[in-house]
Structure 1
Amino acid sequence: MSGKKASKLRFYWIAAVTGLVTFYSCSKIIVGSIFVKNIRPLVDQTMLNWAKKLLDLIRVKVTVVGQDNMPDKESRPIIVMCNHSSLYDIPVSIVALQTSLRMLAKKELFKIPVFSSALRLGEFLSIDRENREQSIKDLKRAKDKMLDGIILWVAPEGTRSKNGLLASFKRGGFHVALDTKALIVPLVIKDIHKVQAGTDLTLYLGQEVEVEVCAPIDAAEYSVDTRRELVEKVRNTMLVALNQSQEV
């Protein structure tokens, strides 16, 4: 690790400020929804400010390459699929793309007071695959939101990698991509595990990370029968960008 390890005192300070900033951001969205008719720009800016503050706390410098690969969000449904190594993947993605990015969140998050209200008002999405009737409604809402300019962020690995190596992919995000005929934009964050990795809460300050926006992959060219090929295409694209081997 080339960065400076945060002391326990520094860690607790960062954790406390992170919690306060998150609560403030959620409250701003909730209150803003009362006074603002079109809340999306407010949510976009609030999320960007939140992400910048969190990255400032750990002094991370973000460099972005391949920005021209990001398609026009009004033309097609778009899903950003990102490698997942750190708690900071989402803030880094928000700062790198600076668009109407929303996460495909676990349905359990929609039960947390204040946070859940901000998620709903902020147009965050959840797909309940255990309830077919609800799943159909969720997918229609997801497609409508993406056609209206929301870009869905998905971590196809499901859980955070401990060492930065790309793990095998779960199918959930690809179901959504196929059902909505979305453009999938592979996004790789390099060296983010050197800031914080997996379930290890140790923080390393003053790091530099590079984000690469890869060329989009059209899910409309695939079907349920060829889903495995789509998964492999996306994963291999990310492996190449990360300069990693094909082995899991």
Structure 2
Amino acid sequence: MLRLLACFLYMGGYLLWSIPKLSSLKRLPDDLNPEKKKLLIHETPKHWARTFMALTGSEVEIQGLHHIPEGPVLFASNHEGNFDIPVLIGAIDKPFGFISKIEIKKVPILSSWMEAIDCVFIDRKNRDKAANSIAAGVDLLKNGNSLVIFPEGTRSKGGPIGRFKAGGFRLAKGSGVPIVPISIEGTADIFEKNSRLVKPARIKVIISQPIYNWQYKDKELIAIADEVRDEIVRSRDAKRIAS
């Protein structure tokens, strides 16, 4: 219970503390180097994520960071639990945004930070608006920004990895950026499998080799989704055998 309380108090307090920082970032000069600007904006979310995970007492093991290529990429990860997002923000140095459900836009301050790091909000109940959001995501990728998708569409909560939905891979098809599969294991042990309390867990993040445009451009979306899922499952199984 104490860890849960500490995590929620820290999250709320940090968001309030970050308001002046968020305001100053909005005033960054337009002629600032784009890469430097992204790094400055992502400093605060990364600091939050690493401290937030430290409060859980969890250990995060990362493998395959060298597989991340230069330039914009589409990260595609399985979705085990609520703590996947801070784990990825803290683990990966390359700045990136998320594809998120539209309901998060109602959360003050948090939604402003998500907009600052170029997250894309999707209204799954409105196909036209969802299509416009995908188009906006494609533009972000073409302009040098990286994104993360969770193609399962919902948390597995520590169960088997579900089948990947194909829609998110339109972002890769439309932009031509590399797809980087990511396996996350152990985040559900922090919260979802712990009676909604927070406890320390051992988390493994495995980053696989990228799948480049020339490898997927002629494939159907569902085939791409299945290929990425198979790679995530394969890398997880290989890690278990090696352990």
TM-score bracket for this pair, using the shorter chain length: 0.7 to 0.9
Kept in 2: contact 1:163–1:198 (CA 8 A): yes
Work out the CA distance in 2 between the residues paired with 1:66 and 1:9: 34
**Is this contact kept in 1: 2:152–2:163, CA < 8 A?**
yes
The one-character-per-residue Cα deviations of 1:27-46 (angstroms, maximum 9, x if unpaired) are 52234213554542222111
Aligned to 1:22: 15
Matched, 1:50 2:44: no
Shift of 1:214: 0.3
Q: In the alignment, which residue of structure 2 is the partner of 1:64?
A: 62
- Matched residue, 2:99: 104
- Structure-1-length-normalised TM-score: 0.81
Aligned length: 232
Q: For the aligned residues, what is the CA RMSD?
A: 2.6
- Unmatched 5+ stretches in structure 2: 239-243
Partner of 2:76: 81
Q: Is the 8 A contact 1:78 1:185 kept in 2?
A: yes
Percent identical:
25
The answer as to whether partners of 1:190 and 1:211 remain within 8 angstroms in 2 is yes
Structure 2 residue corresponding to 1:215, chosen from 196, 209, 219: 209
Counterparts of 1:216 and 1:145, CA distance in 2: 19
- Contact 1:102/1:124 (CA < 8 Å) preserved in 2? yes
Per-residue deviation at 1:53?
Answer: 1.1
Contact 2:182 2:205 in 1 (8 A): yes
Partner of 1:169: 164
- Given residue 231 of structure 1, which amino acid in structure 2 is its aligned partner? A
Deviation at 1:199, TM superposition (A): 9.6
The amino acid across from 1:33 in the alignment is K
- Alignment equivalent of 1:203, drawn from 195, 198, 201: 198
Task: String of CA shifts for 1:75-134, please: whole Å, max 9, x gaps.
Answer: xx41101111111111111122111111112122223333333322332223456353x5
- Which residue of the other structure, out of 175, 182, 192, is the alignment partner of 2:177? 182
Contact 2:163 2:226 in 1 (8 A): no
CA drift at 1:188: 0.9
Conserved in 2, the CA contact under 8 Å of 1:178 and 1:220? no
Alpha carbons 2:96, 2:118 under 8 Å: kept: no
